[in-house]
Amino acid sequence: MAVKDGDGWAVCDQGHRHWGLYGASGLLAVHFDDEGTPHVLMQKRSGWSHHGGTWGLPGGALDSHEDAVAGALREALEEAALAADELRILGVHLDDHGGWSFATVIAEAATLLPAAPANGESTAMRWLRADEIAGETLRVAVEIVAEVEQTGAAVPVVVEPVVVESGGGEPAGGEPAGGETGAGHAEAGARDDDGRDPGHAGNRDAGEVLHPGFAHSWPQIKLALPPSVVVLDAANIVGARAEHGWWRDRAGAARRLLADVEELARRGLRPPEGFPAPARWFPRLIMVVEGAARGLRSQGPVTAVDAPGNGDDAIVETVREIRTTRPWERVLVVTADRELRRRVRELGAEVTGPSWLLGQLQRV
Ligand SMILES: [Zn+2]
């Protein structure tokens, strides 16, 4: 595969013209402060670019066979000097148009990382409080009230929602001056025939308007921002899995479960129906083991915890500790045990059964 072989225009099944032959991705860095308030790193796009002057995310066209996460991290480094080792991937939200899609890669930053325009595609990088970013529908945009500096000092600015008249778009023939357009859906053409296009205002005026693609996805993404922890009741899941002879070798069964969950954690999980998380989900994973299964050590992204005594008590303690130290984090406990479900729900956790997890493992 060639580097940058994704540069070029594509037309989706809905008739829009988009930048990125193999789709595009953007990086949404989010930081939760001590009160649990989310702050999002936004990029003001250079005037020459597609939807120039609007606010969106660092990102751009994917190369062929490039994973959305790798592409978003590459663009974030190129455009905003954000290093991958300072970010923890939380999930990938996909806006699928049919034949073309935009992947928003959500990543948690432990601090308001210093970010600044690193190439010509952006004129500012700013951390904004999530509740200051409007966008309930495509018709709502955001006006930056505070004066925006040209450098990306990590200071949240005050923003005020304003309603604009119609959805995004681009004047016919409005191609970027250069090849690469950076972040966003890069919608063009198809929606312009109503003759009233706030995208024009965004392009012409100072940048106070959200990129239309970002504004479209933002209401859903905002709900999926909080990081999550999945706590696995290993004994209960192993029992539900009921591998041949598992009761004779509980340690072996728990070890195989851990290996399979580690593999799943690298691919990304599907959240349970109705759980507010990105479609491809990378929660923190804690597996609580008891009795003969204790002593497991994870080489990968799963934390194995030995229950000193009763497994249920250890799971309740784990949930309580998370709720105390990071109360904005969502907790999902995987167990079919009714009494345990009641105890963790009392602490604010959500619950789901082992089949939700087992259905996603490659070896079931
Ligand atoms: Zn489209």
Gap from CA of 14 to ligand 1 centroid (Å): 5
Cα dihedral 273/276/281/284 (nearest 10): -110
Say if residue 167's pLDDT is above 70: no
Tell me the per-residue pLDDT of 270-297, one tens digit each, with 9 for 90 and over: 999 999 999 999 999 999 999 988 999 8
The CATH number of residue 240's host domain is 3.40.50
Rounded Cα–Cα distance for residues 264 and 282 (Å):
9
Q: Do 198 and 245 have their domain in common?
A: no
Q: Do residues 43 and 183 share a domain?
A: yes
Q: Give the lowest-confidence range in 134-143, 188-197, 255-264.
A: 188-197
Q: Which residue has the higher pLDDT, 108 or 199?
A: 108
Measured in Å, residue 94 CA sits from the centre of ligand 1 at: 12
> Is the same domain home to 299 and 172?
no
Please identify, among 208, 223, 238, the residue that sits at the C-terminal boundary of a domain: 223
User: Rounded distance, CA 168 to CA 209, Å?
Assistant: 10
Tell me the three state secondary structure of residue 157.
coil
The verdict on 239 and 210 lying in the same domain is: no
Per-residue pLDDT, 364: 53
* Straight-line distance from the first to the last Cα atom of the chain, in angstroms, rounded to the nearest whole number: 34
Same domain, 253 and 191: no
CA of 228 to the centre of ligand 1 (A): 30
Reported as a pLDDT band with limits 50, 70 and 90, residue 362 is confident
Residue 363 lies in a domain: no
Q: What is the average pLDDT value for the chain, to the nearest integer?
A: 80
Ligand 1 centroid – CA 153 distance (Å): 34
Distance 207 CA to ligand 1 centre (A): 23
pLDDT, greater one: 313 or 193? 313
User: Are 128 and 198 in a shared domain?
Assistant: yes
Helix (H, G, I), strand (E, B) or coil at 160: strand
| 57 and 150 share one domain | yes
3-state SS class at 114: coil
Give domain status of residue 215, yes or no: yes
Dihedral pair phi/psi, residue 332, rounded to 5°: -120, 120
**Interaxial angle between packed helices 234-241 and 250-267, expressed in degrees from 0 to 180 and rounded to the nearest 10:** 100
Query: Does residue 139 belong to any structural domain of this protein?
Result: yes
Note the pLDDT tens digit of each residue in 27-41.
999 999 988 999 999
Looking at the structure, tell me whether residues 87 and 167 fall in a common domain: yes
Distance of CA 17 from the midpoint of ligand 1 (Å)? 7
Residue 352 lies in a domain: yes
C-alpha 83 to ligand 1 mean position (Å):
30
Same-domain status, 84 and 55: yes
Give residue 191 CA to ligand 1 midpoint distance, Å: 10
Could you tell me if 212 and 171 lie in one domain? yes
Alpha helices in 208-274 (DSSP H): 212-223, 234-241, 250-267
> Looking at 172, 190, 223, which one is the last position of a domain?
223
Distance 21 CA to ligand 1 centre (A): 12
Looking at the structure, tell me whether residues 134 and 101 fall in a common domain: yes
Q: Is the pLDDT of residue 158 over 80?
A: no
Strands (E), the chain: 9-11, 17-19, 24-32, 38-45, 55-56, 59-61, 87-96, 101-109, 122-129, 140-144, 159-163, 228-233, 280-281, 284-289, 302-306, 330-334, 350-352
183 Cα to the center of ligand 1, angstroms: 14
What is the per-residue pLDDT for 2? 60
**195 shares its domain with 240:** no
Is residue 206 very low, low, confident or very high in pLDDT (cuts 50, 70, 90)?
Answer: very low
Domain boundary among 198, 223, 248: 223
Burial state string for 336-358 with b = 16 or more CB within 10 A and e = fewer than 16: bbeebbebbeebebbbbbbebbb
Q: How far is the CA of 46 from the centre of ligand 1 (A)?
A: 22
Confirm whether 297 is domain-assigned.
yes
Task: Determine, yes or no, domain membership for 1.
Answer: no
pLDDT at 241 over 70: yes
Q: Is 350 helix (H, G, I), strand (E, B) or coil?
A: strand
Q: Is 3 part of a structural domain of the chain?
A: no
pLDDT of 260 strictly over 80 = yes
- How confident is the model at residue 172, as a pLDDT? 32
**Does 337 fall in a domain?**
yes
- Does the pTM of the predicted model rise above 0.75? yes
| Range in 6-20, 116-130, 308-322, 326-340 with the lowest mean pLDDT | 116-130
- Provide the domain limits for residue 261: 228-358
What are 298-314's pLDDT values in tens digits?
877 899 999 999 999 99
- Whether the per-residue pLDDT at 89 is higher than 80: the answer is yes
